[in-house]
Amino acid sequence: MADTIFREFFLGFIRVHILHHAAREGVYGLGMIEELARHGYDLSPGTMYPLLHTMERNGYLTREDRHVNGRPRKYYVITEFGREVLAEARVKIAELTGSASTRGPGRSSATGSEAPPRPATRRAARR
């Protein structure tokens, strides 16, 4: 049960979180496990590494081998596509949490039912 909830919901948050950090400085598996632990997620390497691999394969991340203290370490940094997805995810999260200020102009809701139509204060159509 808990595992189902984890897969259905939290993996999505975790992916966004990984993108967020990969956009700033690049991430590596163990570091990301520790970072997510700070946020209360308990991920095993057996979950984290396949997740990073999948995100790389799907084009959100790209791998960079760096040397840290003389040892190779696989870093993942965000791709251009990953940035687009992250930006879109931020808009959706903001909508969900009610900070509608991030809504750009011209993105009115499709229902159009919450506001009555404005009285026709007709301006001469100026362009």
- Contacting residues toward Zn ion, per CB under 5 A: 35
The nearer residue to Zn ion, 39 or 127, going by C-beta atoms, is 39
CB of 84 to Zn ion, least distance (A): 20
C-beta closer to Zn ion: residue 39 or 57:
39
> Would you say 77 or 126 has its CB closer to Zn ion?
77
Minimum distance, C-beta of residue 127 to Zn ion, in the bound complex (Å): 47
Report which residue's Cβ sits closest to Zn ion: 35
Number of residues that this document lists for the chain:
127
DSSP collapsed to 3 states, the chain: CHHHHHHHHHHHHHHHHHHHHHHHCCECHHHHHHHHHHCCCCCCHHHHHHHHHHHHHCCCEEEEEEEECCEEEEEEEECHHHHHHHHHHHHHHHHHCCCHHHCCCCCCCCCCCCCCCCCCCCCCCCC
**Between 14 and 85, whose beta carbon lies closer to Zn ion?**
14
* CB of 86 vs Zn ion, minimal distance in Å: 13
Q: Minimum distance between the CB of residue 35 and Zn ion, rounded to whole angstroms?
A: 5
